[in-house]
Structure formats: C-alpha cells, structure tokens
Structure 1
Amino acid sequence: MTEPQNPEHGTQRLPTVQPVEHGDVLELDQSASSAAYDPVPAKERGGGGAGRFWSTRRIPAGILALVVLGGAGLFLYDVAAVRAGHPAMQWRRSLADELARRPLNDVWVLTGAAVATVIGLWLIVLALTPGLRDLLPMRRDRPDVRAALDRTAAAMVLRDRAVEVSGVQSVRVRMGRSKVGVRAVSHFRELDDVRADLDTVLSTGIGELGLARPPSLSVHVRRPAKKG
C-alpha cells in the first residue's frame, strides 16, 4: 500500500496488521529497534595505532607565565629596594602583618588556600591530559605522518550515509570518542529492516573513516511522533 507523502509534516506509517496463532490481530503504530556494533580490533585491521593529539594550551600557559613574571619581578624589585636602604612597599608590609595576626583557621586564610589549591589542581590536570577532545586520531599507515578527523565532520559523514538508507526520514548522529549514537526516524519499511541497513551502512562508514580506535555503534530507530 502506498503511503502519503507530506514534506511539511512528514509521513505517518499506516497501522500494520499481523496474524498471530489464535487468529487475533496485532496493531502496531510505533515501535523501536536498537543494535550494537563492536569494531574489529586494531591488530586484525592492520595499520599502526596513533595516540591522541596534545593541546599546546597557549592561553593558560601565557596567563600563568605573565602572572609568575609579574609577581616575581615585583618581589625582586621590592627586595632590591630594601637591600638598598629603602623601606619595603606598603602592600608587602600590610600582607606580612595580616599573615602574622590571622590564625590558620581564619576564613580568609582558608579561602585563599582553597583558591590556590584549585588553581594548582587545574594546572596539574592541564599538564597531564592531552585535551583536543574534538580530534579523533586516525591510523598511522606511515610512521612519519599523523592525522586526525574532527568529530563534527565525522558525524556529518555518517549522517549523510544514514539519510541515504531507504525509509529513513531524519537522523541524528552523536559522535563520541568511544561510541557513535545514531537515532533515526523511519516513516516506512519495517523498523528491523531499516535498522539492519543502518547497521551495515554505518559500520562500513566507520571503518572507512580510518580511525585508530573505531568507536562502537549504537542505532535506535523509531516511528515519527503522531500529530495531535
């Protein structure tokens, strides 16, 4: 049976009537299907692996360098002035007096220590983590060449392949570093058939992206929401 097509409101799948053992009928207006795809291990695919790209983090490094340079320069100037017989700067005398009078459990002392701790932990995390989460490393077929694929671009490639599958009305692709989540809307054909075609097309597409660590694939297919 031919179903109506409407570019503005989409198409609605007519109820499907299927016989069962006792002669009753089962009416299906909506259903969903999901599948999981496990990529082939890198050793079986061939090609060398590649680590993640590390961010240079110029902005945090530049800010930290300026702060350290300014503070060190100010302290050195004040120390040199004191050694030359001049009095210490007012801010340094006030700071020394405040630190001498306030106990360790003072609110301002604890607040300053907490802020310094948070900044230090943040700098340690920046130093030990690669960053650049939007870049997916590609396989290194040549040891002197490194390449990466942007996650948004990879998601667009897979989406373009998914919309070409017969029965797919719309599709959303969320590209992660370890998993690809695909949520499609199918306005005709059986959902299991659409899902199977999406599994085949997208698993092939993921393999052709040439990623060093191909993510797993999760596909979810449903019918369009009914218009009230």
Structure 2
Amino acid sequence: MTEPQDPGNSTRRPPTDDRVEHGGAVALDQSASAASYDPAPTKEGGGSAGRFWSARRIPAGLVALVVLGGAGLLLYDVAAVRADHPAMRWRRSLADELAQRPLNNVWVLAGAGVAMAIGLWLIVLAATPGLRDLLPMRRDRPGVRAGLDRTAAALVLRDRAVEVSGVQSVRVRMGRAKVAVRAVSHFRELDDVRADLDTVLTTGIDELGLAKPPSLSVHVRRPAKKG
C-alpha cells in the first residue's frame, strides 16, 4: 500500500517533534508513525460465511429447569385444589400480598424490574449469535465451514510482525472489524518500518482466509527514553 500524495506529486513527511544535530546540520527525528487502511475486497468463495451461533446450553438449561419446576409445582397445587384440598401456603400468601400491595410499592416495582431485566437478557441471547472470539473463514468449498480463533489470529500476525527488521516489540489487538498493531522500533526510519509492517500484515491478513478481512491500523514509535 502506498501513502497518499499531495497535488504537487511531492511526498510529505509526518510531523516530527525532536531535533538532532549531525555535523552542524539539523535533522528531524520522528517519534511515531501511524496509518490506517481499509480491507481489500473479499474473494468469491463457495457460499456465504455468517457468524457461528452459540448453543448457550447453560442459560437454556437453567431456564428450562426453572420453567419445569414452576409449572410442575403450580400444576400440582391446582390439581390438589380440584381434589378439595387446600391450596399451598405459599400461593395463598402470595395472593394476599399481591392483593394488599399497590402497584407503586417498592417490592412490586423491584420484582417487575428484575423480571424485565431477565426477559431482556434472554431475548438478547436468543437474537444474537455470540461466539465473538470465533472469526468465520471463507467458504472455498460448499458445505464446509471453518472458523479461526481471534487469539490465534493475533499470534500469527504478531509472529509476522516481529520478523520485520527494526521491530523491537509488537502488540496486536485482533477485532472482528479492525486489527490494531502497535510496534516499537529501535532503529531504521519509522516510515520504512511501518511500510514493511503494512506489506507483511496485509499479506498475513489475506492469508488468514477470513470471510470479512478486518481493516488494518499500524502505529510505530520509538522506545521510551530511560531516566
């Protein structure tokens, strides 16, 4: 990828902040270099590759147990009343409390708020796919789906980045839509290091085979001065 140029076809260097004298001449020493790039167009595959949906077995199992227990207890109590037995004490106490307490009572409002929060949580779980750490890969063959863990993808890109000459350390943050790379360079021009990182990481992202390649953000800086 290339840096955008001004209308005069002359390359403009990023602003610098430190001045260093060499043999009477004043040179500018950069402290950081950064750039962001949009992802390249995706390649045509063997079908659409949507996100993986989480089974969410634990929330589903808890809800099923609560509903089953409550329905079974209520059904037993109703059957006992039909058989001329008195209703359970908890149901009589609950009916009396609900009949005596007004709707603006603190406990009634608190119970309604808790029930609404649980209901919204269940709706969100049912309507969202989940598995945010699993990135869908391109479907090169119909009927085959594959995913890549975000942590594993970040480690692959980090291994690629540390091989670039001049890179001392790298931190890669892999998101579903953006890859943020922060590197420390102890020698070479920062623009040159960032340009090499752009090339290496762009190739690395493409070779990951993701269905929706994330955009790339690269930031290179000098090590912090000691003392």
| d(CA) in 2 for partners of 1:90, 1:144 | 57
Q: Which of residues 29, 42, 46 is equivalent to 2:44? A: 46
* Aligned-partner Cα distance in 2 for 1:214–1:66: 41
Q: Which runs of 4+ in 1 moved over 4 A?
A: 15-19
CA–CA separation in structure 2 for the residues paired with 1:41 and 1:89 = 66
Q: In the alignment, residue 44 of structure 2 is paired with which amino acid?
A: G
Fraction of identical pairs, as percent: 82
Instruction: Report the secondary structure of 1:220's partner residue.
Output: strand
Residue number in structure 1 paired with 2:225? 226
8 Å CA contact 2:20, 2:26 repeated in 1: no
Shift of 1:79: 0.5
Distance verdict in 2 for CA 1:52–1:189, change over 3 Å: same
Q: Are the aligned partners of 2:154 and 2:172 in contact in 1 as well (CA < 8 Å)?
A: yes
Q: Deviations over 1:16-58 (max 9, x none)?
A: 5479xxx861453x5111111222222xx22243000000000
Local SS of the residue matching 1:74: helix
Q: Secondary structure at the match of 1:180?
A: strand
Please say if residues 183 and 219 of structure 1, whose CA atoms lie closer than 8 Å, have aligned partners that are also in contact.
yes
The equivalent of 2:88 in structure 1 is 89
Q: Quick one: structure 1 residues 18 and 207, their matched pair in 2 at CA, closer, same or farther if it must change by over 3 Å?
A: farther
Structure 2 runs not aligned, ≥5 long: 1-18
> Which residue number corresponds to residue 126 of structure 1?
125
Instruction: Note if 1:36 corresponds to 2:36.
Output: yes
SS for the counterpart of 1:211 is coil
SS at the partner of 1:193?
helix
Deviation, structure 1 residue 214: 0.2
Aligned runs of 1:3-82 on 2, under 5 Å?
17=21, 25-28=26-29, 31-42=31-42, 45-47=43-45, 48-82=47-81
Over the aligned positions, Cα root-mean-square deviation in angstroms equals 1.5
Counterpart AA for 1:53: F
Map of 2:113 onto structure 1:
114
More contact order relative to length (CA 8 Å, sep ≥ 6): 1
Question: Is the contact made by 1:37 and 1:203 (CA closer than 8 Å) also made in structure 2?
Answer: no
- Report the Cα distance in structure 1 between the residues aligned to 2:22 and 2:101, rounded to whole angstroms: 81
Match of 2:95, as an amino acid?
Answer: A
Q: Partners of 2:127 and 2:97 in 1: how far apart?
A: 36
- Secondary structure of 2:40's match? coil
- After alignment, is 45-54 or 203-212 more displaced? 45-54
What TM-score, normalized to structure 1? 0.88
Separation in structure 1 between the aligned mates of residue 123 and residue 93 of structure 2, nearest angstrom: 31
Number of residue pairs the alignment of both structures matches: 208
Distance 1:83 1:193 in 2: 85
1:176 to 2:175 alignment: yes
